[in-house]
Amino acid sequence: MCTVLTNGSAYQPGFASPNKKHAKATAATVVLQAMGLVPKDLMANATCFRSASQLVTRKCPTPKPPG
């Protein structure tokens, strides 16, 4: 899991990621969702990637709000 600090607040997704690149992307998405720049349902309907060569389509868990 990856945590992002923005303006003194810590944000992190509510689920573990399969790799570092995915962890960074999902943590950044959580911050953008908190700012209202990305729809909240984006992660719930997203395609999850295990690796660049193995694509797995499934519903991702909804991230937990910070705090």
Query: Domain coordinates of the chain in residue numbers?
Result: 4-56
What is the DSSP-derived secondary structure letter of residue 57?
A: -
Each residue's pLDDT tens digit, 14-62? 888 889 998 899 898 899 999 999 888 766 545 454 444 444 444 556 6
Residue 62: which of 28, 4, 46 has the closest Cα? Answer: 46
Residue 45 token pair? 């309907």
pLDDT value at residue 16: 87
Mean per-residue pLDDT, 3-7: 88
Residue 15 token pair? 């689920």
29 in Cβ contact with 38 (< 8 Å): yes
Residue 26 token pair? 């999902």
Residue 64 token pair? 């937990």
The H or E element that residue 43 is part of is none
